[in-house]
Structures are given as C-alpha cells and as structure tokens.
Amino acid sequence: MPDRQPHDPVLLDRCLELLTPALTRHADDGSGAVLVDATLGAGGHAERFLTELSGLHLIGLDRDQTALSLAADRLAPFGDRVTFVHTRYDGFWADRDDRNAPRVDGALFDLGVSSMQLDRPERGFSYSHDAPLDMRMDQDAPLTAADIVNTYDKRALTRLLQEYGEERFASRIAGEIVRRRAHTPFQTTSQLVEVLYAMIPAPARRTGGHPAKRTFQALRTAVNGELDSLRAAVPAALEALREGGRIVVMSYQSLEDRIVKGEFATATASRTPAGLPVELPGHEPLFTSLTRGAEKASAEEIDVNPRSASVRLRALEKVSDARSEKAPVRRDGS
C-alpha cells in the first residue's frame, strides 16, 4: 500500500523543551552532543531535534526495518549527523555497560506501536482491518501472533491476556480460542476479533472501548517482548547518560508506565543506607525528576493528535555519576 503522510509526533514541543538543555550545555547548536532516539519510527521527533540543533548527532534505533527505511529517506538531508541502528532498544544498550563505553547527552523513548505500523493493515497490528495475524515489529523475528494463538494452551493464553492485556474475560476468550482452533487455525485478525465480540459481554463492550483492544495489546506485547525490553533498556540508558544528561520516556499503557515509574523512583532515591537519620555525603540521588509524576497531553494536542490521548511522559536529569565517582584518577589528572 502507498505510504501515508507521517503523523504528528506526540508531545514534540515538550520533548524538545525537556531535552534541549542537556544537548546545548557546551554549544547552543548542540555541537558535540549525542541524542539517542530509541524508538525512531518514521523520524518525526528526530527531524525536529536535528533541525533545531544544527550540531547535534542523533543515533536512531528501531527494530522495524520499514520504519528505518522511511526515516532514512526523511532524515537524508542531515547526512552523517544521523546514525541508524536496526535493533531493539535494549539491544543497543546491552554492550554499553563497560566503564569506558561512550556516554550520551540525551535519550528519548516513544513506546508502543506506532501510527505508521497501525496504518499498514498487512502488519496485523490493527483490529480495524482484516490482515494476517502477525504483529511483529521486526519482520525477521520468528514469533507471530498466529503462533501464539494457535499453539499456547488455555492456561498460557489466559495468563498472557491477563498479564499483558489486563483482560478480565481472559479465561473465556482463551477457552473459545482453543475450541475454535481445533477445527480451523487462526490466520487473520478478523477471525480473532470475531471471538472477542462473542466472548466479551455487550455491557462491557459498551463501556470498555473496542473489545479487541486489550487482547491485541497483549499479543503484540508478547510477540515483541516489549516489557522485557523496556525493563532492560531504561536502567541501561540511565547508566549511559553523562552527568547533566536527560531522558524522556513516553508510554501509552499502564504496564509500560508502571515499569518506567519504578525505574525512575529507584534512580531518584537516596543511596544512603536505610535507617540512618541523615543523608551521607556522596550518597545523594543520582537523578532528579523533571516532571511531577507523569505528564499528559493537553486537550488542544489531543484534539489535533488523537494518539496523544493516552500518553504518559516522565523525564529525569542525571545530577551525579556514580561511575565517575568510582573511577580512579589517572596521573595526567583525567
């Protein structure tokens, strides 16, 4: 299908406002600064940062090869100021825990399925179009949503729908899936949507949004290992920031936001051993919060950009670097 117009990036101005101070500490144009866009997508956030800060270098990560291709076209005018990496965002950070690994000045995470992916019915992310039951963000990954639906037993399906989709009718749905697939394996999104309409009572369908929303979320999360990836990536990104560096994370579902909230709470906590009446020098928190809780989009932005309705934005600044504190001083003073 032909490419559609890129969607407006969520909370673009706010992301720029929060991250720019970390990217311009040494030069107003961002020269020498490095920003990791951990969820590059079609490159909307990246384009704005590169335009506003003419000296900035951006590392764009995405597991979706189609997204990387589109972003490469969009960001081509910026030449070698952009480095593209085909990886899941935790994959990029996996080998960067060495003391000598290069530091970055900013990190941006825009989590969840992208509007671009939803707009491509053949990818199977949308319950509004009939398509193969796929849901892979990385088209080379082996596991599809159809594999899960057709092979997991009732107990495993129930647990998946409960944990990743917070679906209260999980057991009913799982039982019906197992019953139907015994005769006809699931191949398309419409087959699954039909089950969900049948198994979720009408009153719940009227009040809980589209009946497929939670099940599709659960399957997409499982297929792509999204929560495990997030649990690994956030602390690694925090570690990779330079002192004065900043991180912004935007999540769109409670499970993602719960992980981010927990990691940020740990990062902003005092390192003084519990029970001591005063904070020990050198044990202050390594990070400070830039937001009061999770920020939401304004009514004006939601009206223009409906995808922003469910966003929860959290941001931190690194005020101290434990790795630097522990590093031995060389004879040359560095």
Residue ranges for the binding site for S-adenosyl-L-methionine?
Answer: 43-45, 62, 89, 110, 117
Q: Do residues 60 and 48 make contact, with C-beta atoms less than 8 angstroms apart?
A: no
The single residue listed with the structure tokens 């979706």 is 64
Q: Which CA distances in Å does 61 have to 72, 88, 192, 320?
A: 11, 7, 31, 26
Q: Do residues 125 and 4 make contact, with C-beta atoms less than 8 angstroms apart?
A: no
How far apart, in whole angstroms, are the C-alpha atoms of residue 258 and residue 255?
5
Residue 154: Cβ-neighbour burial (10 angstroms; 0-12, 13-18, 19+): middle
Tokens of 122: 């053949």
Tokens of 141: 């990954």
Q: Which residues, other chains included, contact 100 with Cβ-Cβ below 8 Å and sequence gap of 6+?
A: none
How far apart, in whole angstroms, are the C-alpha atoms of residue 266 and residue 293?
14
How far apart, in whole angstroms, are the C-alpha atoms of residue 100 and residue 245?
17
Q: Which CA distances in Å does 91 have to 94, 119, 135, 236, 334?
A: 5, 26, 20, 10, 30
CA nearest to 121, candidates 111, 110, 135: 135
DSSP characters for 263-326?
HHHHHTS--SPTT-SSPPTT-S-SEEESSSS-B---HHHHHH-GGGGG-EEEEEEE---HHHHH
Helices (H), 75-114: 89-93
Residues annotated in a binding site: 43-45, 62, 89, 110, 117
